[in-house]
Chain A
């Protein structure tokens, strides 16, 4: 509804005011019964009330008069069916995720304007003061207005270019709610919101990567309950109680992976989803098809060559070709500068050294990893590993 009002009024703040007005009006008007099309009623009521208000303000402010005049001209052009378009949601997504806005602002706007979250909840998740986040949103709205960022789904080749950015923002929102390092979110359900956005995108723009992203989010989310134990500690994939995985989400996610693969050349989200689907398909950790997973990482590395992908590939290689093969790859990666500060690279190295019986090496790598992580479940996990390997740890344990 907000998305439609933003399109009709061409302004975020006016649209928010209009929505308030509409709900206030409904409280009175609906006492005798709800109209046949409540949504359309709210939208047109909100819109007319804002135009009337702007007209009244025009006595003091000439520009408000001009806006009212402009909006009033369109008044009769709005057909009833034009008030209820899911396309408005899509337009709003493309506006909020416009590359002319900073990535931080894109994420904040998406959470605020599309997911309807309170500024405080968003600020909390990103560990910034609410005033900073509010400022970020105000600035982004000002840029949308002043730079002429349109409420529009881009056409043709611009669409392909821009869809990547939209999917990236949706995935960032998902991870804000999913990463074990994420701040506790209270009632906010970022991952759920991201999945809802993913579904909306699949309905409106079913490209291979849109399907792939929704699949990836569903397959990660399916394992949510099993990856943290009752004490809030991390449970590794291999040790998770697979009966606690959400079978419905896995079935839906896996079907989407198949659809995405049929839909065109596989992009990064689709390949990652295919990897997640293989994990979910294994009834025990030992039954995991690591050779296929390593092959998918090879493919992913070809189109999306980042050190983190290379690290994940090294882990998959270790699982199918043995820890020494994986360790050689990780050492090669750690020789470069990019992964030096990435705790998971050191943790993965430590784990392979541990499997090879190189205890001293393993301990030192776990400590390097631990020094790179803030207080929280990941740090406690590393501390447990160190305790298990330390000579004093075995004495007492």
Chain B
């Protein structure tokens, strides 16, 4: 099964940390990515730029509204994702628990809906 691991964390943490600490964390993410590639779990993944770069679009009564920022203000923001292939939820949760942000923020694990049978 495929699962999307959504990484939620307080994005201001990145600014609050020293460069050395941030570099160490980048290193952890690269190692996690390499490990999951080696174990066959990795399908894809990317960090996102901070929420001040976000724009939300919605159409109501046929009219397009475009607004600044994410849909809802929250303490933890969506900061990136990994798309993984896992045997089942237990397997997926074990992978997700190794994402560095699991220690400070949280990882939402969602199965990818399979469309059709082909």
A residues adjacent to B (C-beta < 8 A):
62-63, 66, 98, 100, 146-150, 152, 154, 158
Interface residues on B, range: 10 to 19
Closest 5 CB pairs of A and B: A150-B88, A148-B88, A148-B1, A148-B89, A149-B89
Residue contact A150 to B89, C-beta cutoff 8 Å: yes
A158–B89 touching, CB < 8 Å: no
CB distance from B91 to the nearest CB of A (A): 8
Nearest residue in A to B1 (C-beta to C-beta)? A148
Partner of B90, one of A62, A146, A152: A152
The count of A-to-B residue pairs whose CB atoms sit within 8 angstroms is 30
Closest B residue to A162 by beta carbon equals B90
Given contacts A66-B117, A148-B86, A152-B88, 7 further A-B contacts (CB under 8 A): A100-B89, A146-B113, A148-B89, A149-B89, A149-B90, A150-B87, A158-B94
Q: Could you write out 27 A-B pairs with CB less than 8 Å apart?
A: A62-B117, A63-B117, A98-B89, A100-B89, A146-B111, A146-B113, A147-B89, A147-B111, A148-B1, A148-B3, A148-B86, A148-B88, A148-B89, A148-B92, A148-B111, A149-B88, A149-B90, A150-B87, A150-B88, A150-B89, A150-B90, A150-B91, A152-B88, A152-B90, A154-B90, A158-B90, A158-B94
Q: Which residues of chain A are within 8 angstroms of B92 by Cβ–Cβ distance?
A: 148
Closest residue on chain A to residue B91 by CB atoms: A150
Bound-state CA distance A150–B111 (Å) is: 13
Chain B, range 49-94, C-beta contacts under 8 Å to A: 86-94
Find chain A residues with CB under 8 A from B88 CB.
Answer: 148-150, 152
Taken together as a complex, chains A and B put the C-alpha atoms of A146 and B86 apart, in Å, by: 13
Residue on B nearest A152 in the bound complex, by CB:
B90
Q: Roughly how many angstroms separate A63 CA and B118 CA in the complex, as a whole number?
A: 10
Contacts of A150 in B (CB 8 A): 87-91
Nearest neighbor of A66 in chain B, beta-carbon distance: B117
Shortest distance between the CB of B107 and any CB in chain A (Å): 13
Find chain A residues with CB under 8 A from B117 CB: 62-63, 66
Give chain A residues whose Cβ lies under 8 Å from the Cβ of B93. 100
